[in-house]
Structure 1
Amino acid sequence: MTLRHYLSFLSAAFLIMAMYIAGNAVGFFVEPITAELGFTRSAFSLYISLSTLTGVFVLPLFGQFLPKFGAKRLLAGGGIWVSLGFVWLAFATRLWQFYLGGIFLGLFMMPITMFLAILLVNNWFTAKKGLMMGLLNASGGLAGAIVSMIMPTFLDNFGWRMGYFLIAGLFALLTVPNSLFLLVENPGTVGLTAYGEELSVQTENNEPIHDLSISYEDAKKMKPFYVLFTGIFLSAFGGGMMQHLPAHFSGMNFTSAQVGTLFSLVMAGMIIANISVGAINDKIDSTITITVVVVCMVIALFFLATTRSFMTLSIVMFILAFGLGGPAVLTPLVVSEVFGIGDYPRIWSILGMAPSIGMSISGPLWGAVYDVTGSYAIGMYAMMGLAIIYGICYLFALKKGPLKQPLNVTGI
């Protein structure tokens, strides 16, 4: 592995850090802004949903524009654009201004962070791709955890308007210089190949299997494409549950310190899980890795729904971390394994919409479960079934994917 490979991973890691910093920080602004400006929390929080949904619908367009404009230009322009969006929020005083700011942020935030980061790992690594994807998510989680510790004190001392300026500065720092000095979209442009390319399995035509890919036009006609989209969508419902875990634990009459400890354990566990799942996936078949992740999710959900023991839940949090963190690492790997990377940007621009849609829908649904039943338990039992279903969807796509079929492989 050359220095350029390490720098390309660092470039991707900075992008994920920018996304996690912006994403984790916004929750700390809800209380001070609503208290000062008199908005209801539900009305104010809508700007976050607008940002997410805008990103979902822009992502396919970004996949189309990427070949035309190039990653460097899009990252530089998008980094400045998003940073100015946070500056706009720092001066906002009315709800419509926050809503407009949310839409403004959504146009570029997701495409230039997670989308480009995953694309870089896929382009630069063939061997150890799972480990690098795990490290990528872990670096974002670490950055999010650090900003979560700093932001409350910063807001207390300097106010929420300066808090938005801080996020704007950090986002610009992690994106704009990155586009100028670090980011290289494809190794071929600097005379290199993806790490592990020479180890790729050879076909009858002596072409590396890594180069065998399905076009976007062909992929969207195939059943595995839609089955995998469904599985990715359902896997994001676990992320919606994460938003409600503190409230779930508080309802068990745990102290604030105990609630914070349990939530910290699952966050710390996800850093370990991201790296472990990626490394395990490199050594073992993807189908086994996905099965392990689903089993961890089902076990954790069962205990979350049935136990009120702090000690038991402390252990369960680490199991839950594998169930929640696994899909984030495995999904991009499965997409590239099923369809190849030749037309990956366009394919991922569609499949990458699924987790954001799932998160947007599942958060309110978990709240509705509690409002109707007075407990999250029924939702957790239902999520056990959904976990099994999304696991089946992933396994179906891996088994029936076009690159797994001999006739398709020889015909590409």
Structure 2
Amino acid sequence: MKKTTVFYGWRIVFACFILMACMIPPVVTMASKFLIPITTEFNISKSSFTLSNTILQTMGIFLSPIISKNLSNGKLKKHLVFSIIGYSISFASYGLVTNIYMHYVISFVLGVFYLNVGTIPVSILINNWFEYKKGVAMSLAMAGTGIGGFLFSPLSTSLLENFGWRKTYLIIGVIVFLTAMLTTTLFIKEKPEDIGLEKLTKDNTIDNVPIVDKGIWDDFKSYKKKIFVWLILIGMLLNGIVHSGSVGQFPAAFEIKYGAIVGSLAVSIYSIVGVFGKMIMGILNDKKGVIYSIIFGTAGFSLAFILLMSTSSNEGLYLLSVFYGLGMGLGAVVPPLLIGAIFKGENYSVAYGYVNSMMQAGMSLGAMFVSMLADKFNTYTVAWFILLVFTIVACVLWILGYQKSKSYWTKHL
């Protein structure tokens, strides 16, 4: 193995961190920042605006398995460059719409490019470069979402106040394009073998006894009907609903109840705390196993939703934001780590494609589901309670699925 002062894989982690910071927050975390100005100008309901996010996320239901396979064919960097261009142009085009239907059309196009620049390529890259310290590497990469949310929240608030929602879309689109394109061009290498390196692993022996990697090495397709797979997939669906329903509606819900400044600060708090939450989950995965990461994240989310339903003070809002940030890895870090703990080798990309498809199905429903409940009951409380239940159920399903998968594991040197 070629020796370098610092393993190049950590540059890949940095690049993935930047991509996540640029690509995820504008269409997930910050989407509802535009809810109030657009619904006011077009005189539409919250759920009508949120349908745009549903359309965008729905693309992943059908395309995730295809995109996962295509991104593993040795042309990942070319796919990234093309998709960054498409993503940036599409996002900036939101500022040109004159009615909500044009917004829907752009969301359809943006949804395709979004899948090619988000968690799918990042998870594939990390899996290609790391076996040892994969949890830490994955959590660092996914932490970009939190930092991006932390930066984009006050930025978008300021831009909206000073330039209006149309120019804000354009400005953010330009920022995303320049940052992501420069990062991809300078740092992205699909596999260690492309530059004469090998995946980061532990020594393959301890005291001359071979280390075996346990998991499922057979073709994923032969396991699609197994109960453990469906337990995990249903958990992913619920997780997607929780993640989209909370992240997609928190900014608007906080602004309505606490005002724009306090609400923006709360979003920034859970975004920055989310960086540490994801790191903790990555470390727990590497030291104790993925089940500990799942339990940790579930506890954080559960406490956040409980506080969300029981507090009305600014201090309570900030505290629940801390808990929510600690659990945010459930949406980004846990899915690839859980699948990586079960499916090995070339199976990973195929399995993750199906998992991401279910996550996207949940993501497409979550924000719309919460906004419809808010419109119906004129409060978000009912929605927060349902998301709390979904969080706990998803945790149970993942743990059961992981445990049941062990009966199919084999050893591999």
For normalisation by structure 1, the TM-score amounts to: 0.85
- Specify the SS of the correspondent of 2:169: helix
* 1:193 to 2:194 alignment: no
* 1:17 to 2:18 alignment: no
Distance change >3 Å, CA 208–CA 185, structure 1 → 2: farther
* 1:283 to 2:284 alignment: no
1:97-124 CA-to-partner distances (Å, cap 9, x unmatched) read 3222111111121222221011111111
- Specify the SS of the correspondent of 1:336: helix
* 1:65 to 2:62 alignment: no
- Return the alpha-carbon distance in structure 2 between the equivalents of residues 201 and 56 of structure 1: 43
Gaps (5+ residues) in structure 1?
none
* 1:367 to 2:371 alignment: yes
Distance change >3 Å, CA 210–CA 285, structure 1 → 2: closer
Partner of 1:128: 133
193-202 or 221-230: which moved more? 193-202
Partner of 1:353: 357
Letter paired with 2:58: L
Distance change >3 Å, CA 341–CA 394, structure 1 → 2: farther
Partner of 1:315: 319
2:168 equivalent among 156, 163, 180: 163
* 1:294 to 2:295 alignment: no
- Percent identity reads 21
Letter paired with 1:57: F
- Return the alpha-carbon distance in structure 1 between the equivalents of residues 401 and 208 of structure 2: 22
1-10 or 390-399: which moved more? 1-10
- Return the alpha-carbon distance in structure 2 between the equivalents of residues 256 and 175 of structure 1: 29
- Return the alpha-carbon distance in structure 2 between the equivalents of residues 26 and 297 of structure 1: 21
How far 1:303 moved relative to its partner? Answer: 3.3
Residue 75 of structure 1 contacts residue 112 of structure 1 at CA under 8 Å; is this kept in 2? yes
Task: Give the 5 Å matches for 1:183-262.
Answer: 183-198=188-203, 208-209=212-213, 213-239=217-243, 240-245=245-250, 254=258, 257-262=261-266
- Return the alpha-carbon distance in structure 1 between the equivalents of residues 96 and 376 of structure 2: 38
- Return the alpha-carbon distance in structure 1 between the equivalents of residues 133 and 67 of structure 2: 27
Residue 309 of structure 2 contacts residue 384 of structure 2 at CA under 8 Å; is this kept in 1? yes
How far 1:53 moved relative to its partner? Answer: 1.3
Q: CA RMSD in A?
A: 3.3
- Return the alpha-carbon distance in structure 1 between the equivalents of residues 161 and 265 of structure 2: 22
* 1:409 to 2:410 alignment: yes
Partner of 2:348: 344
Partner of 1:92: 97
Residue 15 of structure 1 contacts residue 175 of structure 1 at CA under 8 Å; is this kept in 2? yes
Distance change >3 Å, CA 21–CA 321, structure 1 → 2: closer
- Return the alpha-carbon distance in structure 1 between the equivalents of residues 99 and 159 of structure 2: 23
Distance change >3 Å, CA 113–CA 287, structure 1 → 2: closer
Letter paired with 2:75: G
How far 1:302 moved relative to its partner? Answer: 2.9
Q: Which has the higher contact order (CA 8 A, sep 6+)?
A: 2
Partner of 1:390: 394
Residue 54 of structure 1 contacts residue 106 of structure 1 at CA under 8 Å; is this kept in 2? yes
- Return the alpha-carbon distance in structure 2 between the equivalents of residues 179 and 248 of structure 1: 35
How far 1:273 moved relative to its partner? Answer: 1.0
- Return the alpha-carbon distance in structure 1 between the equivalents of residues 342 and 207 of structure 2: 17
Residue 134 of structure 1 contacts residue 278 of structure 1 at CA under 8 Å; is this kept in 2? yes
1:153 equivalent among 131, 151, 158: 158
Distance change >3 Å, CA 280–CA 184, structure 1 → 2: same
- Return the alpha-carbon distance in structure 1 between the equivalents of residues 412 and 229 of structure 2: 19
Letter paired with 1:4: Y
- Return the alpha-carbon distance in structure 2 between the equivalents of residues 87 and 260 of structure 1: 22
1:130-173 CA-to-partner distances (Å, cap 9, x unmatched) read 12222222222112221221223334444444333323323322
- Return the alpha-carbon distance in structure 1 between the equivalents of residues 216 and 298 of structure 2: 29
